[in-house]
Structure formats: structure tokens, C-alpha cells
Amino acid sequence: MDATEATSAPASVGVVIPQRAAFREPLPLKCGRAIANYELAYETYGTLNAARSNAVLVCHALNASHHAAGVYADEPSNVGWWDNMIGPDKPLDTNRFFVVGVNNLGGCHGSTGPLSINPDTGAPWGAAFPLVTVEDWVSAQARLADHLGIQKFAAVMGGSLGAMQCLQWAIAYPQRTRYALVIACAPNLSAQNIAFNEVARQAILTDPDFHGGDYYAQGVQPRRGLRVARMVGHITYLSDDEMANKFGRTLKHGRVNYSFDTEFEIESYLRYQADKFSGYFDANTYLRITKALDYFDPAFDHAGDLTKALAPATAGFLVVSFTTDWRFSPERSREIVHALLKNKRDVTYAEIDAPHGHDAFLLDDARYHKLVAAYFDRVFDVIAGGAA
Amino acid sequence: MNGISIDRADFAAIAQWVNPGARVLDLGCGDGALFKYLQRDRDISGYGVELDDANVLACVKNGVNVVQRNLEEGLREFEDQSFDYVILSQTLQAMRNGERIIKEMLRVGREGIVTFPNFGYWRNRLHVLRGHMPVSEHLPYQWFDTPNIHLCTLDDFERFCGERQIRILERKVLTEGASVTVMPNLRGALAIYHFGPG
């Protein structure tokens, strides 16, 4: 395939082909259940070196997938969700690193999830699909690493919920995690965060088309609930200033019409995002991902002591927060930094002054990208020096 | 000066006081040059603290672990007595609350090392005698755009320490990279102090 066919930014990894790995050994889950058979959808970019020491795992957040970079041959406009970060000469440089993107268990982009056929019943899992956790995702990712012959990742990287997976990697597999890039993260959700998630869930759970989660057989999707859930989420990803700059009180028709149609631009934007999202995302997956977020709390088993929870982690850490992120505020990242400092770990912390709120981690901000690029230079020097 | 730059003389003086393998916190670490020097020369570990974005990036490029934070807000992330040395190089004079940062240094570290331009240096005095604020190698700013808001002399700093039960362990005074021992408050351009709790 000719990479120049790609419509993504210059220096794209070009056309990529999603792959699948099937696992037959049951995966025990934190909820007490197990999944006997499952598949994970993944993509890779770059080349694994002979020493198998240059692999970087990219963990996705709420609505993304294994498609982190490049485009598909039959969908040239479907650009990977972190394409501005991953590619030749980009901060995560695929000329140097072998990058793995994976769709998490319970997802709706190809990995086994509520949409998949449950081999025991021959019907979609639906409501019967277990409530998976960040810990479960990381266990599954570790098996994918085994499958790919990667004993140790040069780095595990993610933003938001993806960053929580990085923390979990560093805690659960310290010997397999050389560096962790923890971006726009929190060591657990605040009550306010959980509250937003609960509003999103209630919107889905009370949609008449939800049918207790077994809506596939009815040929419907709880789209209305999913739309509201996405709207609530979207509000929390943007800063007040960013919304003011982008939309302000701009009217769609230049005047108010005293109706419930879209009148303000912000309404139009939210409805557009909601329609788009509800057209491709599965409600059961959304419910489970919000629960995984709520449950993640590595300090819980250590009487709330994050320092103890992070004690096993020996990785080098880059922790990055964004000043206007009120969903996972810089203060929450500082908690992680504090615990790592207390454990005398190798840690660098940067607070990026960006106006975009939580979504900043996905955007192309020069200071942020230069920092990540410089950190990956360090990672590369270490693995190239044979110290991996 | 046998090719040793003035900065290196400053670094070398600090390095003399740092035990090999020590844990060091370098406040206002800039691009991490001093920390890197101490890593090579004294095999230290620890962190730099810096506010400026460009300096934070430079630290990452220099292989220095840096924590981005405003020193004026204290050192909350850092535990009591978690470092052997806390260094404040060429930053004290730019702090809004110099007393607080010196206390914070002795909270998180066992000993402190501070460097600052000596306002009592004769060239500075001459500037003032001629009716102007000094502009020199260690005070390179014009009065209207200087970050240096709390300048002091050697004698001022020693009185400050004496009044607060801070024990000065060692002192080195440099002018153009050379050590000054005679009349240092008049002849010294750069002060370097090593101090601990009284």
C-alpha cells in the first residue's frame, strides 16, 4: 500500500490493517467471573526490533479503539484517534518504536464485548457480559503482549482512562513496564466524576429501547439514552473558556425562535456529537466503560494509601496534566506524582497550560508534543543502550 | 581561569559539598545543567523543580527528572527530610517569600545550598554610588524588567540565618570564577552557602 494515498496528516503511518488475536485460556475477572474465550482487536505500527525491546502499548480511553493511527484502505477518512501523536517523526515515532493499539475487552470495535456472540448461547452477550475493570483490561493486554512475543514494553502510554491502564500496568507488571506515560489522569474518580457517569448511565438504563441490555434481539438500540450520555460526557471534556471561545452564545439562526429546536450553536454541537456517537457506539459497552472508570482505585486495597498502591511500580514515569482540565484536574495528577516521589521513583511531571480542558490530551499542542517527543528520546536512548 | 567557565566554577563549588550518591532536590533548576553536572560528578539522584515550560522541556532533554511547580507555593509534593541536599541556585533573590522557601528547604532536606548575587559587591556599590541600579554579569537585568526583587549582601544573609537558628556550614565567595577570601562582602560577586538546622 502506498502511504501517500492516506488522507491523514503528513507523516502518517499510512494504511493500516486491524488484526485479531483469539485467546482460549479463561481470563479470570475482578468481579469473580471469567471469560472462557475472547478475542482482542489490535493494530501495530512500526517494526519490532530483534531484541523485541522497542514496543510501546497505547491504551485507549472512553470511546476510542485499537485504531490509534493511520487510515484504512477502504475508509481513507477514518484516521486513528491519536494520529497526531503516533507516526513517522511524530512524538511517538514509528521509525523507532513498534506501537501496539488494542481495543479493550468489552469494547464494541472488534474485541469481545456485549455485541459479540456468547458461544454458550449462540446469541449476543448483551446484559450477560460481565462488568470488566481496568485490571481486567490490563490482564488481557498482557496476554496480547505474550501473543506478540513482547516480554517488556519500552513504554505504556495513555490519556485519561488510558492513563489509568498505564498506572495499572506499572503496578501489576513492573517487570514488563519500562516507562509509563500517564497523561490527564487521576488516581481514582471523584464523587463529581462518578456523578456525571451515573447521569450518563441513567440516561441509557431508562431508555425504553434498552430492554435490560438485551436490545439486540429486539432490533433496536437505546440511542436516545446514548445521545444524552454522550452530551453529558462532552460537556465535561471541554473547559468553560473553550466552550465560550468556540460557541459563546452564538445563535444558529441569528435570533431566538422561542422553540425547543437548536437555537444556540452549543446545542447544535452537542446534538451533532450525540448523533454521531450513538450511530457507532454500543450502549452496553458505554455502560461498562463508565463502571470501569468508577471502580478504578488502586489505593482502595491499601486503606486509601496511593503511595503503598504504587510501591510495586518501578517504571520511569512521565505524568502530564492540563491546566484547564476540570474533569481530571492537575491536582489529581499531583497526587500521583506525590506518591511516586514518596516512593523515590523516576518521575517527571509537567503541567501544560492549555485552554482545551480534558480533551487537550488528544490535541496537537506544541509544548505537550515536544515534551512527549523529548521523553521518548530518553526511552529510546535507554533501550538502545541495552538497559531495557 | 584555565578554561573553566564562571558557571562551572559555581557548579564545582557546589559539587565539592555534595557527597557522592546523595539525593538532591534542585529548586529553580533551569535547564537542568547543574543537576546534570552533579549527576556526572557526584552520581546524585533526585529531581529538579522548575516552573518555566521551556526549561521543563530542556530538563527532559537533559535527562533530568523535573517536577513542574511554582516554588512560591511551597514544596507540598515533597516529604519531610526526603533529600540529603536541597539546592536553590540563583533563585532566592527572585522569590517573593525568601524566608518561606529557606524553611521549606530545611523541611524537605537535611541541608541546604543557596547561591545568590552579592549586592554588596563593590561594582554594584559603585553603580548605586553613581546613581544607578547595578547591571552586571550576575545582575544582568534593567531595574524595570528584573525578576530580582529581594537582593541582599553576604552580611544580610548571614544575619538572616543567625536570627533564625540556621547554621552556616560552609561559605564560598566567587568573583569571575575565582575564590574570594579577603573582604568577601565587598570583593565577592557570587555567594554560595551551605547551611543546616541550627
Q: Is A369 annotated in the active site?
A: no
Residue A386, pLDDT score: 60
| Residues ≥6 apart with Cβ < 8 Å to A148 | A21, A44, A48, A55, A100
Question: Which residue type, as a one-letter code, is found at position A353?
Answer: D
Contact A348 B82 (CB under 8 A): no
Q: What is the pLDDT of residue A10?
A: 62
Give me the pLDDT at residue B1, please: 32
pLDDT digits over A70-114, tens only? 999 999 999 999 999 999 999 999 999 999 999 999 999 999 999
Contact assignment for B53 to A367 by CB distance below 8 Å? yes
pLDDT of residue A80: 97
Q: Do A347 and B65 touch (CB under 8 A)?
A: yes
Tell whether A253 lies on the interface with B, counting CB pairs under 8 A: no
Query: pLDDT at position B137, please?
Result: 85
User: What pLDDT shows up at residue B198?
Assistant: 85
For A338, the closest of B47, B66, B77 (CB atoms) is: B77
pTM over 0.90: yes
Alpha helices in chain B (DSSP H): 6-17, 33-42, 53-61, 98-108, 122-129, 154-163, 184-187
Type of residue found at A352:
I
Q: Which amino acid is at A355?
A: P
* Tens of pLDDT, residues B136-193: 888 999 999 999 999 999 999 999 999 999 999 999 999 999 999 999 999 999 999 9
User: Does the domain at residues B9-119+148-197 carry the CATH identifier 3.40.50.150?
Assistant: yes
Q: Give per-residue pLDDT as tens, A364-377.
A: 999 999 999 999 99
Q: From chain B, pick out residues whose CB is under 8 angstroms from the CB of A353.
A: 53
Q: Does A349 touch chain B (CB under 8 A)?
A: yes
Positions of chain A with pLDDT under 50: 1-9, 387-388
pLDDT of chain B along its 198 residues, tens only? 333 445 578 899 999 999 999 999 999 999 999 999 999 999 999 999 999 999 999 999 999 999 999 999 989 999 999 999 999 999 999 999 999 999 999 999 999 999 999 999 999 999 999 999 999 888 999 999 999 999 999 999 999 999 999 999 999 999 999 999 999 999 999 999 999 998
- What per-residue confidence (pLDDT) applies to A91? 98
Q: Is A331 near chain B, with CB under 8 Å? A: no
Q: Where do the domains of chain B lie?
A: 9-119+148-197
Detail the DSSP E strand segments found in A226-368. Answer: 316-322, 347-352
Query: Is residue A130 a contact partner of residue A35, using CB atoms and an 8 Å limit?
Result: yes
Asked whether the ipTM of the predicted complex exceeds the cut of 0.90, the reply is yes
Active site annotation includes A325: yes
